Amino acid sequence: MQRNAQIQKQSQKLKILPQQIQFLNLLQLNAVEMENYINKELEENPYLEQAAPAESENVASDLENRTEESEIDYDNQDNWGNLDDDIPDYNTRTENGYQNETPRELRAVSTDSWRKATKRQIRLEEDIEPEKLLLVEYIIDSLEENGMLQQSLQDLTDNYSFGIGRMLPIEEMEEALTFIQDLDPPGIGARDLRECLLIQIDRLRIANHDLETVEVARGIIDNHLENLASRNFDRIKLALDVDTEEIRAAIELITSLNPHPITISPEETLEDNSRIIPDYQIEVDGSEIIISLVNSRAGSVRLGSEADELSKRKLDKKASNFLKMKIEDARWLEEALRQRDSTMLNTMKIIASIQREFFYTGDKNDLKPMVLKDVADKLDMDVSTISRVTSRKYAQTPYGVMHVKDFFVQTITTNDGEVTTTKEIMNVLAEIIENEDKSTPYNDSQLMKQLAEKGHKIARRTVAKYRENLGIPVANRRRELI
């Protein structure tokens, strides 16, 4: 007979509370994202208000005077035990979308000036029919930001037909697209790289540009783009029956073309979130390194004065829970912003103390070996916290704007036991590649042997990683015609 029995089992589990996750994500936000986040909170929380500038500055200036005992340690979950149990778990701050550990990338968005300029070209055509004008403008509005057409003509035709209430023959869509491809800039409306380059090369043919070179270039674009990408010049020469000089001239012509018809120039207006805004200001004054936050957030928001009055009113349970949640959110954000600023300042101070020599000279060779754990140990924090504080953050230094991660330098022990930095090895690697025979460049295995001969014995996959970090392509893409 089987009997049920109770068994007591003790186990340890690490529980991370929503507020801890939220604070870690606050650390990860850069200056622009932080601005957007605070504005979003001000819009969504009726009991949160923006503090007066003077009040915010006073709080920021007191950051360094705050003792560790007066701050909340967000790495310690015991400090989150006073939350109101009446607040529903499903409606906490993690619902706002910041629990995701994946860093969010900001997109640079160009203005629509090129679309307007293209449409102005159309209106210069005196004999264009109104129906065709609408169709052409519809296609222009459907183009990507780089001027390319990614949708299929069939999808465009179906969508347009639905809008006008009748079936449009796909031939009319094709005719309208051909009309657009005759406009400037050359390549606009192209559906892929090959078509974009062919449109541009045909314009050169019309302009009587060195017709022999144009024909060879057109042959490469039309049938041998893959061979060109893999630098398989011998196969191209054999297929087109041309010599090395003709291939070289054709390739020079192709590389002068634009892979995309629309590119964003420095003069074009970009959205504010596309610019790099430093998080730190680092100045050197004699023997002193002065560190500050470019835009301190401590004291920038506060709980509204009407919250206390509202909390005294008798409300139903649902309204009361909502009020408690929003008030708790406001109080949490107010203190979390103080702690964020303090953590960021303390982290950068440790980095500056380790890399003091670099900030005096500006020479990257003076950067000392330093990894995230070195900073974390000095601050008695977790490595992941330091990683968030330094990821996607920039510092304004006397030597220009630098990514904070650039201050970290890893080390490797050489064959003879000496310690060297990865930067030194990458410099040696770049020198080897610079001096290689361009007609037969080294592959990663050969580069590994070359480095070993110079005293840097590292694995082939590490060589590949360093080469990629230097922005150097693989061997077959480095091959040049001699």
Helix 170-181 vs helix 153-164: angle between axes, to the nearest 10 degrees? 110
Q: Are the CB atoms for 107 and 274 separated by under 8 Å? A: yes
Digit-by-digit pLDDT tens for the chain (482 residues) are 555 556 555 544 444 456 667 777 788 888 878 888 888 888 887 778 877 654 545 545 555 544 343 344 434 444 433 333 333 332 333 333 333 333 333 333 334 478 888 888 887 776 788 888 889 999 998 898 889 998 889 988 988 888 788 899 999 999 999 999 999 889 999 999 999 999 999 888 776 667 888 899 999 999 998 888 888 888 988 989 888 888 888 888 998 898 888 875 434 433 333 457 889 999 998 889 999 998 887 777 777 666 666 655 666 677 777 777 878 888 888 888 899 999 999 999 999 999 999 999 988 878 888 888 999 999 999 888 898 888 888 999 998 888 898 898 876 665 555 666 777 888 889 899 989 988 889 999 899 999 888 888 888 888 888 888 788 888 887 887 65
Return the sign of the alpha-carbon dihedral for residues 426, 428, 431, 433.
negative
| Placement of tokens 């929503």 in the chain | 18
Q: Are the CB atoms for 433 and 478 separated by under 8 Å? A: yes
* CA-closest candidate to residue 102, choices 25, 214, 159: 25
d(CA 475, CA 438): 9
d(CA 137, CA 140): 5
The domain segmentation of the chain, as residue ranges, is 30-100+299-339, 113-181, 193-255, 411-478
- pTM of the full predicted structure? 0.49
Q: Is domain 411-478 annotated with CATH 3.40.50.300?
A: no
Residue 97 vs residues 24, 101, 416: alpha-carbon distances, Å:
13, 10, 51
